Structure 1
Amino acid sequence: MSLDLHIEADDGLTSAALSIALQRSGAIEIDSVKDTVEAHFASGMRLSADAEDTDFTLYAEDKKGLDFKVSMRCYIRIKGPEPEGESSMSELEKIAESIADVCSSYFILSFQYESTLFWRDALGLHRA
């Protein structure tokens, strides 16, 4: 079984800022080339991100009152059982917190665009 999650962010989240946030959140491997970022975590979770240059639509269904032009999309895949002592949900929370600490980007982290788990607005980072 695998789960797909998405981060949609405004232009405040650059590839460089995302790489720093992923490093701070505990990624065990990060590859960054131009406008793309790939990261792997101890739980087996993987993240891939691309700067958006063609489709700026915010797809999250529960937008939490946000409406911004999407400039960065991150695709997160949680696959299979986690190794003992590791937690993908804990890693997701660390990613959201680290992005909020590294830059002022508005973003939504959602489960399959349907359920919003974390979001950042003018008041700061929130958890559903």
Structure 2
Amino acid sequence: MSLEMFLEADSALSLPILEQVLARAGAEEVYWEDGLLKANFTSGISVWAEERAEDFDIYAEDAKGMDFRVSVYCNLRLKGPEPEGHSSMEDLDKIARGIAQACPACFVISFQFETTMYWRDAAGLHHHWR
């Protein structure tokens, strides 16, 4: 079983910044393949990210009132079961907090575009999952 999370961010987040965030968040490997940034976490999260050249719309159903041009799009697939001592939700939290600390990007992380889990707006980072 796997769950799909999606990160949509404005141009203040770049793939090189995201690469550093993923490494600091504990990814066991971070690499580039066919122009995509990819990463894997021991918890079971696999990541691929791209910079958008077209289709700049936010797809999250609840963008928390934000309206920005999506520059970076990222798929975060959570695969279960998690190995003992590892949590994909804790790794997701580290990623969201890492982005918020690394740059001023506005972003949304949603569960299958339906439920907003994290968002960052002018007031800072927010979450809705605990």
- TM bucket (normalised to shorter chain) is over 0.9
**1:82 and 1:88 in contact (8 A); partners too:** yes
Residue 46 of structure 2 aligns with which residue? 46
2:94 is paired with a residue of what secondary structure? helix
2:71 maps to a residue whose letter is S
Q: What's 1:97 paired with? A: 97
Q: CA deviation at 1:34?
A: 8.3
Partner of 1:117: 117
Cα distance in 2 between the residues matched to 1:54 and 1:126: 28
**Which amino acid in 1 is paired with 2:86?**
E
How far apart in 1 are the matches of 2:43 and 2:56?
31
1:35-114 → structure 2 map (5 Å cutoff): 36-114=36-114
Which residue of structure 1 lines up, in the alignment, with residue 20 of structure 2? 20
Structure 2 alignment gaps of length 5 or more = none
1:11-46 deviation line (CA, Å, top 9, x unaligned):
011011001111111111001368521000011110
CA distance in 1, matches of 2:45, 2:33: 20
What TM-score, normalized by structure 1, do the two folds share? 0.96
| Contact 1:14-1:72 within 8 A present in 2 as well | yes
Alpha-carbon distance in structure 1 between the residues aligned to 2:106 and 2:21:
14
Count of aligned pairs? 128
Residue identity (%) = 48
Q: Deviations over 1:65-107 (max 9, x none)?
A: 1110000100011112000011000000000000011111100
Question: What does the per-residue CA deviation read over 1:45-69, in whole Å, with 9 as the maximum and x for residues that have no partner?
Answer: 1010000111101000011111100
